[in-house]
């Protein structure tokens, strides 16, 4: 029997506007840029993937431009002509030839899974072991920096039953002002919502020791990456002292990082991100390490659009325990979409379809309108 092979791989940079600026400790996003990946196969099946970063190079080692260049120049030529149905072999081939580049690899793996799901008539979640839920509770980030505005936004989300978990991005301002801002919001929402903070590595250990105590005393449920990812010993000391759980995010740049963090007791919760691990299959290896070590799981995001969000969701649906839920709200930040049907958020959850593949289709006209470069750069069989 002749196997189905990958015939072409195309990367498309898409710039989409957001509903508001999104403030992080290291950057303020004014829009979101996606790298859409289209894998076409000899049986006529096409798989769609997405690679998305936050803030260009201010967050990590890859940018939309570097992702596109590295896929077009180095990764795509390794895949064209390869067996489209053997995703494991395809990704191992990339790993042997290219170090890192986890964002680029994640988009490629997502596209290969989407194609294989369509080929077999199965949702991606079933290719990843089988879903144990159909929907995921989703957190919302309050990132305006204005206390009254953030409280009003949270109240609206509760009223329309879209979110009851709220994360606050802090660390860019003075510590006492950040703490007062968070505490005021928690007091306003009370027990109706979970309030968490993400510091994006902005504090040093001495500041974090005191701040984590204050936050815990005022009902904050979770503290994400308060100090530098490079200070794992400090993370372990802080995790042992903080009354509120400490979550590792930037500390996990690959599956091996997850093993070392677990071994050293540097966090009580892991943020799972397919982009930082190299794809949906790879992120489940990090989840397995956490589960073996008794570490809680949280479904993280790189603020992907609908494609990357569904790729993450299909992986998270398979986890036995997702104690800290998810933050797959990226599509809700966008004022425009490139999918024919938007993702479904209702009753505080993202509902994931059981249709083959990722369960989406591209709106070709909108994709053409929002793509940065109007010319095709598909890498294909000669």
For 283-331, what is each residue's pLDDT tens digit? 999 999 999 999 999 999 999 999 999 999 999 999 999 999 999 999 9
- The first and second tokens of residue 85, run together, are 């149905």
Quote the CA–CA distance of 24 and 31 in Å, as a whole number.
Answer: 13
Q: What was the pLDDT predicted at 42?
A: 97
- Domains along the sequence of the chain with CATH: 6-121+361-376 (3.30.390.10), 127-351 (3.20.20.120)
- Stretch among 60-64, 94-98, 340-344 having the lowest mean pLDDT: 60-64
Higher pLDDT among residues 79 and 1, named by residue: 79
Quote the CA–CA distance of 79 and 168 in Å, as a whole number.
Answer: 41
Nearest residue to 358 via CA among 311, 303, 318? 311
**What pTM was computed for the model?**
0.94
Q: What was the pLDDT predicted at 2?
A: 61
Give SS3 for 89.
helix
Render pLDDT for 107-132 as a digit per residue (tens, 0 to 9).
Answer: 999 999 999 999 999 999 999 999 99
Quote the CA–CA distance of 259 and 203 in Å, as a whole number.
Answer: 24
- The first and second tokens of residue 7, run together, are 């015939």
Quote the CA–CA distance of 273 and 270 in Å, as a whole number.
Answer: 9
Confidence of residue 1 (pLDDT cuts 50, 70, 90): very low
- Strand order of the β-sheet with 344-346 is 135-137, 349-351, 344-346
**What's the Cα-to-Cα distance from 154 to each of 31, 145, 146, 157, 195, rounded to whole Å?**
22, 13, 12, 5, 10
The set of residues, in sequence order, having a beta carbon less than 8 Å from that of 142 and lying 6+ positions away, is: 150, 153, 154, 166, 167, 168, 169, 185
- Taking residues 70-95, what's their average pLDDT? 97
Render pLDDT for 206-249 as a digit per residue (tens, 0 to 9).
Answer: 999 999 999 999 999 999 999 999 999 999 999 999 999 999 99
Annotated active-site residue 46? The verdict is no
Catalytic residue among 10, 250, 304, 327: 327
Kind and range of the H or E run holding 166: strand 165-169
Mean model confidence pLDDT for the chain: 94
Quote the CA–CA distance of 358 and 115 in Å, as a whole number.
Answer: 9
**What's the Cα-to-Cα distance from 271 to each of 255, 302, 324, 358, 360, rounded to whole Å?**
12, 11, 9, 22, 25
Catalytic residue among 118, 169, 186, 273: 169
Annotated active-site residue 327? The verdict is yes
């Amino acid at each position: 029997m002749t196997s189905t092979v990958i015939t072409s791989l195309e990367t498309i940079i898409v710039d989409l506007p957001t509903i508001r600026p999104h403030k992080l400790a290291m950057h303020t996003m004014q829009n979101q840029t996606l790298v859409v990946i289209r894998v076409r196969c000899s049986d006529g099946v096409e798989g769609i993937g997405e690679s998305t970063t936050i803030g260009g190079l201010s967050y990590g080692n890859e940018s939309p431009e570097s992702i596109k260049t590295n896929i077009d120049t180095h990764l795509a030529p390794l895949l064209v002509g390869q067996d489209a149905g053997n995703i494991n072999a395809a990704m191992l081939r990339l790993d042997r030839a290219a170090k890192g580049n986890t964002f680029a690899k994640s988009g490629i793996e997502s596209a290969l899974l989407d194609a294989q799901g369509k080929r077999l008539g199965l949702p991606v979640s079933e290719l990843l072991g089988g879903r144990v839920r159909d929907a995921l509770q989703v957190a919302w980030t309050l990132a305006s920096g204005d206390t009254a505005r953030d409280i009003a936004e949270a109240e609206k989300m509760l009223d329309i039953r879209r979110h009851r978990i709220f994360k606050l991005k802090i660390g860019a301002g003075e510590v006492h002002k950040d703490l007062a801002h968070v505490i005021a919001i928690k007091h306003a929402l009370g027990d109706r919502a979970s309030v968490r903070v993400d510091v994006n590595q902005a504090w040093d250990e001495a500041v974090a020791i005191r701040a984590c105590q204050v936050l815990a005393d005022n009902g904050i449920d979770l503290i994400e990456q308060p100090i530098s990812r490079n200070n794992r010993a400090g993370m372990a000391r802080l995790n042992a002292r903080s009354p509120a759980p400490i979550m590792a995010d930037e500390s996990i740049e690959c599956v091996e990082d997850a093993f070392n963090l677990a071994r050293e007791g540097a966090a009580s919760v892991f943020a799972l991100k397919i982009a930082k691990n190299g794809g949906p299959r790879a992120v489940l290896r990090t989840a397995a390490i956490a589960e073996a070590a008794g570490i809680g799981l949280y479904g993280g995001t790189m603020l992907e659009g609908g494609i990357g969000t569904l790729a993450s969701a299909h992986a998270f649906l398979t986890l036995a325990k997702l104690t800290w839920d998810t933050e797959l709200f990226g599509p809700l930040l966008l004022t425009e979409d490139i999918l024919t049907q938007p993702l479904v958020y209702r009753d505080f959850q993202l509902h994931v379809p059981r249709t083959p593949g990722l369960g989406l289709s591209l709106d070709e006209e909108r994709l053409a309108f929002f793509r940065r470069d109007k010319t095709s750069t598909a890498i294909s069989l000669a």
